[in-house]
Structure 1
Amino acid sequence: MPQVFEFKLPDLGEGLTEAEIVRWLVEVGDVVAIDQPVVEVETAKAMVEVPCPYGGVVTARFGEEGTELPVGTPLLTVAVGSEGALGSVGLADSGSGSGAEAGAVVSAVGPGAGSGGSGSGSGEAEASGNVLVGYGTGAPVARRRRVRPEAMAASVAAHVTAAAAVSAAVPDAVQGPVAVVSPLVRKLARQHDLDLRQLAGSGPDGLILRADVESAIRALTEGAAAPAPTSAAVSVPESVSAVQPSVPSVAQPAESPAAERIPLRGVRGAVADKLARSRREIPDATCWVDVDATELMAARSAMNSAGGPAAGPKVSVLALLARICTAALARFPELNSTVDLEAREIVRLPEVHLGFAAQTERGLVVPVVRDAQARNADSIGAEIARLTEAARTGRLTPAELTGGTFTLNNYGVFGVDGSTPIINHPEAAMLGVGRIVPKPWVHEGELAVRQVVQLSLTFDHRVCDGGTAGGFLRYVADCVEQPAVLLRVL
């Protein structure tokens, strides 16, 4: 007889204590293999696919999409048994794959068995003990199929019969999946006790959008606010109505729309906490300078045209600026530091883990290029490209988003010239780069049109004074104006 094991939301590392369910990858009744991803969750650091350490049949799921769960909360239960018991399962009869029957399987297994098998399990259970993607046993992923184990058929029969009767009594319009993708739409409907199955979606293929839910909520609100009709009409003599003066109707003011409330959680919440802490703890100061970047752009063009197509990927401006930053930090190590408040010490760090700000659909993230001081422009550019693609698809791991020692912020991509960026706590400095645009510039004693960029450096005034910060920024500016300066350290 299979045993039921409870799989709880594991500790995802980096001090994370909770995660939000974004998308379930399995259904109740699916066969899962050891270390097969079963749910996609969003933490304050990144999107993570969580694999299940057990192989067997999914008997229950806990939590809907959009639900935030703390670490240690049950995610699902899996019926685990011998190879013969699980191998004898077959496709369920037509009509038996409903959600009601899935619930009957859970009842037959018994919720108490899951809690008893959590964590350790018996010697018969097969489990990898791994809970993070990339650290599994590498077992092949089984094809998903909805099944009913024959070993459980006798104990489930009564529940299936009752479930079928209930299912027959429920109208077809209420059964089946709901055409909703966004967890926020589901949550909004739950908050207002709105049945999504009663809505007709205006999106592609009937997809229910947020506007559909908000429209239904407004309709419910207006219906509740309308006065109820009286139970009996009151007769008024004609003589009375004839002498009553006509009273003009007064238009009622339209109800103002309710303010939208957006929870500060996930990536957005983590960014908010970090920015607030930075402003609260770090006495920052900013200096900036306008720089002629014409020679840097010419050098980049020469790099990318040399060697032809076999030369590899093109070098980006961000990669060149990152390489300039590592050279500047080697000359001014004070800015590659952090402050230990408890010990009242400045800690100068030996490696440069260079973060760069990246705007994504999920908010602002700062991926980190590890050991940037040991990389050339090509290597830094390749790693920036890899991390940027992972950020766009939401696949950055917590380790790729933490541990930075200095941040490069290219806000010029938004079409702005300057900014005073907030330091990425607990770092000591951030270099901001504006857009590179043609401007009038005095070059070699004559007025000319040159490619000009504004650089700004925000620094922690506890780790250095203005002279050090100004020296760092001036060295970066010199390298931008005369890239040959970098040859001394290449």
Structure 2
Amino acid sequence: MSGRFELRLPDLGEGIAEGTIGEWLIHPGDAVTEDQPLVEVMTDKASVEIPSPVTGRLAEAVAIPGSVVPVGSVLAVLEVESSDQDEQSATPAASPTEVIATPGARRLAAQLGIDLATVGIADGSGSIREDHVRSYADAGGHAPGSEAQPEAALNATGNAAFPDRSVISSRLTRAAAVPTVTNVDEADFGAVYASGLSPLTVLAFVVSRSLSKHPRCNMLAPEGRPIPQDSVHLGVATQTDTGLVVPVIRHAESLGVAELGAAISDVTARARTGHLRPDELVGSTFTVTSAGRMAGQWATPLLNLPEVAILGLYRIAERPVVREGAVVVRSMGNLSITFDHRYLDGMIAAAFLQAVIVQLESWGERS
């Protein structure tokens, strides 16, 4: 028999509490398949496409293009086949003892080892979102309340004239307060260029594989305690017209170099055109950043919290270097590892960076 499914605006990550409805990609009455993009939503950080979690038919497009709606709001009503109930919802009712939370919040809480029952809700929304979990973690395990007020005051006084940067500003302010150290070294990219592969692709592959041997660099550190991660969910910092975003490639350590290269091309292209899914913007465990030819010699990237390290790739150019007593020209590029000194010592970060460099310089020797 037929039932109704309420599609709600999901947790969009990055502490984002609302989104602006863009273009509807289908019309009422159209058939819908599971994972089919339904509507574009624009946030302070990126444009994303909200997919349908069910197969059915669009009964009503509730959200009006141009309107600003909070996370958890009903976007659409879908007609679905249901044998068990007449009404369905993306956020079903819970028993009195059950914690109501979005899937993104549950996933992040599990990653960070946080009991959702201890996370308070200060905005009266009734459902724990990912930004609630992040605020709880950033506050050292305290329910959000007075701890959130300084950020609100900053947005009201410092960022009101620049709404497109408010979320970015608050995140960078938190990241800038972390005591980081940056280690910079150079690598010969001659073998990488000889392979015909993109330096970023090879670097991402090498980093993903190296993190398994240097697991302390692949940690998340909420609540003042580092938590090792079993998998590498690689963030790739990407510049877009609306700002820097970090789409995530999950289980990067399990991908071949060609697969990883295709995944990077896919998510970065969709990030720039606003076609990412919400779940592709959350959950990274380590981030790689590069501005390509615009990158300069080197920089000191800010951490993508709650990660404990970030690796930067900078301009690769021909430089004179000494090899076996002779001056020769090589394709050289600088790499940096910026790390949270509270959880990583310099020797650990340097060992990881050196392992990456060795693999880059011996890339042509891979069997």
| TM-score, shorter chain, exceeding 0.5 | yes
Residue in structure 2 matching 1:292, options 164, 180, 188: 188
Aligned to 1:340: 222
SS across alignment from 1:326: helix
Aligned to 1:279: 176
Residue in structure 1 matching 2:210, options 324, 328, 335: 328
Task: Decide whether aligned partners of structure 1 residues 441 and 368 sit closer, same or farther in structure 2, where only a CA change above 3 A counts.
Answer: same
- The whole-number CA distance in structure 2 between the counterparts of 1:366 and 1:294 is 28
- The whole-number CA distance in structure 1 between the counterparts of 2:296 and 2:65 is 41
State the identity as a percent.
32
Q: Is the 8 A contact 1:278 1:422 kept in 2?
A: yes
- The whole-number CA distance in structure 2 between the counterparts of 1:25 and 1:297 is 41
Q: Once the two structures are superposed, what CA deviation does each residue of 1:32-70 show, in whole Å capped at 9, x if it has no partner?
A: 336597743223564224769875577xx76562x3222
- The whole-number CA distance in structure 1 between the counterparts of 2:340 and 2:184 is 15
Is 1:263 the counterpart of 2:174 in the alignment?
no
Q: Is the 8 A contact 2:191 2:364 kept in 1?
A: no
Q: Which AA in structure 1 matches 2:198?
A: S
1:44-443 alignment, distance < 5 Å: 44=45, 46-49=47-50, 55=58, 63=64, 65=66, 67-71=67-71, 129=89, 262-265=161-164, 268-280=165-177, 282-298=178-194, 300-301=195-196, 315-341=197-223, 344-443=224-323
Aligned to 1:468: 348
SS across alignment from 1:422: coil
Q: Is the 8 A contact 1:434 1:453 kept in 2?
A: yes
- The whole-number CA distance in structure 1 between the counterparts of 2:60 and 2:282 is 36
Task: Decide whether aligned partners of structure 1 residues 71 and 321 sit closer, same or farther in structure 2, where only a CA change above 3 A counts.
Answer: closer
Task: Decide whether aligned partners of structure 1 residues 71 and 322 sit closer, same or farther in structure 2, where only a CA change above 3 A counts.
Answer: closer
Q: CA deviation at 1:334?
A: 1.0
Aligned to 1:41: 41
Q: Is the 8 A contact 2:59 2:76 kept in 1?
A: no
Q: Is the 8 A contact 1:54 1:126 kept in 2?
A: no
- The whole-number CA distance in structure 2 between the counterparts of 1:319 and 1:273 is 30
Q: Is the 8 A contact 1:8 1:72 kept in 2?
A: no
Q: Is the 8 A contact 1:285 1:458 kept in 2?
A: yes
Q: CA deviation at 1:323?
A: 1.6
Aligned to 1:452: 332
Q: Once the two structures are superposed, what CA deviation does each residue of 1:239-283 show, in whole Å capped at 9, x if it has no partner?
A: xxxxxxxxxxxxxxxxxxxxx975334xx4433332222122x21
Q: Which AA in structure 1 matches 2:257?
A: A
Q: Is the 8 A contact 2:190 2:331 kept in 1?
A: yes
Q: Is the 8 A contact 1:292 1:481 kept in 2?
A: yes
- The whole-number CA distance in structure 1 between the counterparts of 2:333 and 2:269 is 26
- The whole-number CA distance in structure 2 between the counterparts of 1:381 and 1:401 is 18
Higher Cα radius of gyration: 1
Q: Is the 8 A contact 1:338 1:426 kept in 2?
A: yes
- The whole-number CA distance in structure 2 between the counterparts of 1:351 and 1:270 is 27
Task: Decide whether aligned partners of structure 1 residues 68 and 438 sit closer, same or farther in structure 2, where only a CA change above 3 A counts.
Answer: same
Q: CA deviation at 1:401?
A: 1.3
Q: CA deviation at 1:446?
A: 0.6
Q: How many residues align?
A: 285
SS across alignment from 1:345: coil
SS across alignment from 1:403: coil
Q: CA deviation at 1:362?
A: 2.5
Task: Decide whether aligned partners of structure 1 residues 62 and 420 sit closer, same or farther in structure 2, where only a CA change above 3 A counts.
Answer: closer
Task: Decide whether aligned partners of structure 1 residues 419 and 372 sit closer, same or farther in structure 2, where only a CA change above 3 A counts.
Answer: same
SS across alignment from 1:452: strand
TM, length-normalised to structure 2: 0.67
Q: Which AA in structure 2 matches 1:41?
A: V
- The whole-number CA distance in structure 2 between the counterparts of 1:322 and 1:8 is 39
Gaps of 5+ in 1: 81-122, 132-259, 302-314
Task: Decide whether aligned partners of structure 1 residues 42 and 288 sit closer, same or farther in structure 2, where only a CA change above 3 A counts.
Answer: same
Q: Which structure's relative contact order is higher, taking Cα pairs within 8 Å and 6+ residues apart?
A: 2
Q: CA deviation at 1:417?
A: 1.9
- The whole-number CA distance in structure 2 between the counterparts of 1:33 and 1:402 is 30
Gaps of 5+ in 2: 92-158
- The whole-number CA distance in structure 1 between the counterparts of 2:72 and 2:244 is 28
SS across alignment from 1:434: strand
Q: Which AA in structure 2 matches 1:12?
A: P
Q: CA deviation at 1:14?
A: 4.8
Q: Is the 8 A contact 2:234 2:248 kept in 1?
A: yes
Aligned to 1:32: 29
Q: Which AA in structure 2 matches 1:461?
A: H
Aligned to 2:21: 21
SS across alignment from 1:340: coil
Q: Is the 8 A contact 1:337 1:463 kept in 2?
A: no
Q: Is the 8 A contact 2:214 2:352 kept in 1?
A: yes
Q: CA deviation at 1:11?
A: 3.5
Q: CA deviation at 1:439?
A: 1.0
